[in-house]
Chains A and B, each alone.
Chain A
Amino acid sequence: MIRPDANVLLEIRGLHARVEDKAILKGVNLTLRAGEIHAVMGRNGSGKSTLSKVLAGHPAYTVTAGTVTYRGANLLELSPEERARVGVFLGFQYPVEIPGVSNLEFLRVATNARRVQLGQEELDTFAFEDLVRERLTVVQMDPAFLDRSVNEGFSGGEKKRNEILQMALLEPLVAILDETDSGLDIDALRIVAAGVSQLATADTATLLITHYQRLLEAITPDFVHVMAAGRILRTGGRELALELEERGYDWVDQELAALELG
């Protein structure tokens, strides 16, 4: 939903970042307003996933230039946990398995960290169980997964559902979903997409990072950005995603070559 007067939640300006000595982001500009759903598409290696990790504060990436402003404050000076607590959520492309850490306990500790930030009361185990059972319905997840270790032995689809469950509990204002559609069969994709749609409200912004148009059939984006060589090459509406699906990414290479020559 595009409302030009809606609050800007996240503003990325001239963002450059590198991992080790390799420059990956080379001047990303992007503005997310409340109520908007953005899709970032692009080939492998275009910098999509790096963008998501830089926004979440992954320690392996170094920002070398540019700014990221979240609700008027400098996001880049916050630690990863602070970013999460103030309402920035990263849905991982490859959710991490953590043997020995109970999923339920993990979800509770994370939820309470966010609640404390919001000035809400922390939930004890009983109150939390009620909440988590209610939120499980968002992703139609089997409660049995709560008793397991975090993501341990989960199938690809179950891991992604667990990601969206975390999002449903943390109620972020900006959700960045890194290839949430990868590794999902059609049914799981439908459920995950329905969950994401349900959680996208007039007060939140969503950034979907994806390879394929497939996800965008289930979640309609307001903006589609094409990323290449570490920056956003073109921005359009949902028709841009259809164009990519039809024409592939070859034209992106040509456009990029022309840009670099010029």
Chain B
Amino acid sequence: MGASTVSAKTLATWTGELLAQLPAPSGPLAAVQGRGREALAALPLPSRHQEAWRFTDLALLAGLDLPPSGAQSSGITPDGPAPEGTSPQGACEDKPPTLRLQLDGRRDPLSGVVLPPGLTRLSDSELVLALGHTLAATGCEQHWPVELNHACASQLLALRVSSRAQVSLELVSDGATGLRPLRVLLILEEKAELQLCQRLTAAGSGLTSLVLEAHLGRGAKLQHGLVALGQPDGALLAHLAMEQDPESDVSLVAVSAGWGVSRLEPRVVQVDGSATTTLRGLQVVAGDQIADTHSHIAFGGPEGQLDQLHKAVADGRGRSVFNGAVRVPRAAQRTNAAQLSRSLLLSDRARIDTKPELEIVADDVRCAHGATVSCLQQDELFYLQSRGIAAEQASALLKRAFCEEVLRELPAPARLWCPFERLLAADGFESGPAPAVESGPEAPEGEAG
């Protein structure tokens, strides 16, 4: 592995160079930054010698041009200009008003924003108590990507959501290059409900680091849709940590495509069980991309529910990794958990590693898990072709069908950010649905594999 040896040398000095370039700690996270930098300096960079990073090579980081964070949101704006502040959308009475905030890691996302009823900014004293609480509860506060975020992030979005809030929150981080550390902390009070749509796009070489913590009080409900569409020379490291009190309900739908390297770590703890967690993931790789999801769900009490589906599409020389840990200790009797990993392998050179990791101590539980890896089915392709649908279009329809199972569960605004065609564009699939071609001697060949 000559390539990784070379990059390992470069990576050896990576942390030091990064830390040297960072501006002095400042802002609401100054103390966290200071501690994070110390921790980061002491931590080795994740390497493939570590079990949790066995399949995921961060060599790409070595080539990134990091701080200071570069471009504006000049890049991609999937649905036009982004209005700041509240925009009560009166046209549809059913829909809650939308609050769209720009998260760029440099500016205070709440600057100049009037928060709608039910949302309040956390005070400094609240921050001291709450920040990092969920990271610790989900056991990831010392993970390297988290410490990286601690070291770099100078701004954060920290909100308290009360049961009065009726808002659809949109967090938009568009088109950046360079280093982009994003930090979010949400506290959902008892019975509070929040729809959170989050969009991350990249314009070029860079590293996006996201750490999101959400603490849900009893009976609270969070619906989070994350759409992360990257660039081949971009890296994404994201920790999404959720701490659930009983009767709360988390639904997380994460879609990522197009990143040179992406690592998503959804971490959920049901503090006393009796909560509901629904996880949906879709990651798409092509070219030389690596997409890795390491999810970790822990039940701290009885009668918790988990429904998890993770899907992956791998083309080119892309590599997809899924590791799904579920922890059911003795206290978590009558847990009902189901985890399914389904992967679509589109190329001989693509690679899929998928691993359920269930640790079950309680004896009265239902924990189902399964994993499938398959190619496009020849009988399905032939059936579509036999109805006049070109081979290429038939493949696109089948890929789309595979992805739709996750895409359709995104909250509506996030769904609009992520039309299937964009996923195709992001990962370099051959083509989107093409119009039917008139048959002729030069018509595309109908080989079905």
| Cβ 8 A contact of B436, one of A79, A92, A109, A170 | A109
Binds B, one of A2-10, A83-91, A193-201, A241-249: A83-91
Interface string of B435-449 (1 = CB under 8 A from A): 110110001111111
Closest Cβ neighbor of B436 among chain A residues: A113
Q: Which residues from chain A contact B382 at a C-beta distance below 8 Å? A: 58-59, 80, 96
Which residues on the B side are within 8 Å of A60 (C-beta)? 378
Cβ of B144 within 8 Å of any chain A Cβ, yes or no, is no
Once the chains are docked, how many angstroms separate the CA of A81 from the CA of B448?
Answer: 11
Q: Provide the residues of chain A in CB contact with B394, threshold 8 Å.
A: 81
The stretch that binds B, out of A13-21, A97-105, A220-228, A231-239, is A97-105
* Contact for A80 among B379, B386, B400, B401, CB less than 8 A: B386
Is the beta-carbon distance between A96 and B383 smaller than 8 angstroms? Answer: yes
Q: Given A79-B391, A82-B443, A90-B386, check contact A116 B436 (CB 8 Å).
A: yes
Q: Which of B391, B405, B435 contacts A81 (CB 8 A)?
A: B391
* Shortest distance from the beta carbon of B388 to any chain A beta carbon, whole Å: 3
Docked Cα-Cα span, A106 to B438, in Å, equals 18
Q: How far is the CB of B432 from chain A (nearest CB, A)?
A: 13
A85 to B448, CA, bound (A): 17
Q: Are A92 and B439 in contact (CB under 8 A)?
A: no
Q: List B contacts of A90 (CB < 8 A).
A: 386
**8 Å CB interface, B373-397 against A:** 378-380, 382-391, 393-394, 397
Is the beta-carbon distance between A100 and B405 smaller than 8 angstroms? Answer: yes
Let me know if B126 is at the binding interface, CB within 8 A: no
In the complex, the answer to whether B385 meets A109 with C-beta atoms within 8 Å is no
Flag if A98 contacts B389 (CB, 8 Å).
no
Q: Is A112 an interface residue (CB 8 A)?
A: yes
Q: In A14-70, which residues have CB < 8 Å from any B CB? A: 56-60
Q: How far is the CA of A82 from the CA of B390 in the complex (A)?
A: 8
Docked pose: A92 CA to B391 CA in angstroms: 18
A98-B384 in contact (CB<8A): yes
Instruction: Given A59-B378, A79-B445, A109-B389, decide whether A92 and B383 contact each other with a Cβ distance below 8 A.
Output: yes
- State how many angstroms separate the Cβ of B379 from the closest Cβ of chain A: 5
Contact of B438 among A59, A96, A100, A116 (CB under 8 A): A116
Chain B interface size, as a band, is 20 to 34
Contact call B439/A86, Cβ cutoff below 8 A: yes
The answer to whether B402 has its CB under 8 Å from any CB of chain A is yes
Q: Are B439 and A95 in contact (CB under 8 A)?
A: no
Question: Within 8 Å of chain A (Cβ to Cβ): is B124?
Answer: no
In the complex with contacts A113-B389, A113-B436, A117-B439, A59-B449 CB distance below 8 A: yes
A residues 110-127 in Cβ contact with B at 8 Å = 110, 112-114, 116-117, 122
Say yes or no: A79 contacts B446, CB within 8 Å.
Answer: yes
Q: A78 contacts B439, CB within 8 Å?
A: yes
Cα distance, A92 to B382, chains bound together (Å): 11
Interface assignment of A206: CB less than 8 Å from any CB of chain B:
no
CB distance from B219 to the nearest CB of A (A): 34
Q: A79-B445, A79-B446 are in contact. Are A101 and B398 (CB under 8 A)?
A: yes
- Interface membership of A204, Cβ < 8 A: no
Given A59, A86, A98, A116, which contacts B383 in the complex, CB threshold below 8 Å?
A98
Residue of B whose beta carbon sits closest to that of A92: B383
Q: Which residue on B lies nearest to A107, using beta carbons?
A: B387
CA of A122 to CA of B435, assembled, Å: 10
Q: When chains A and B are docked, how far (Å) is the Cα of A98 from the Cα of B447?
A: 19
- Nearest to B387 among chain A residues (CB) is A110
Find chain A residues with CB under 8 A from B387 CB.
81, 84, 106, 110, 113, 166, 170
13 further contact pairs, Cβ within 8 A, besides A81-B390, A101-B384: A57-B446, A81-B388, A81-B439, A81-B443, A84-B387, A96-B382, A106-B389, A109-B397, A112-B436, A113-B388, A116-B436, A117-B438, A122-B436
- CB within 8 Å of B: which residues of A? 56-60, 78-86, 90, 92, 95-96, 98-101, 106, 109-110, 112-114, 116-117, 122, 149-150, 166, 170
A-B contacts, 22 of them at CB < 8 A, read: A57-B446, A59-B446, A60-B378, A79-B391, A79-B439, A81-B386, A81-B443, A81-B446, A82-B439, A96-B380, A100-B400, A100-B401, A101-B384, A101-B401, A106-B387, A106-B389, A109-B436, A110-B387, A117-B439, A122-B436, A150-B383, A170-B387
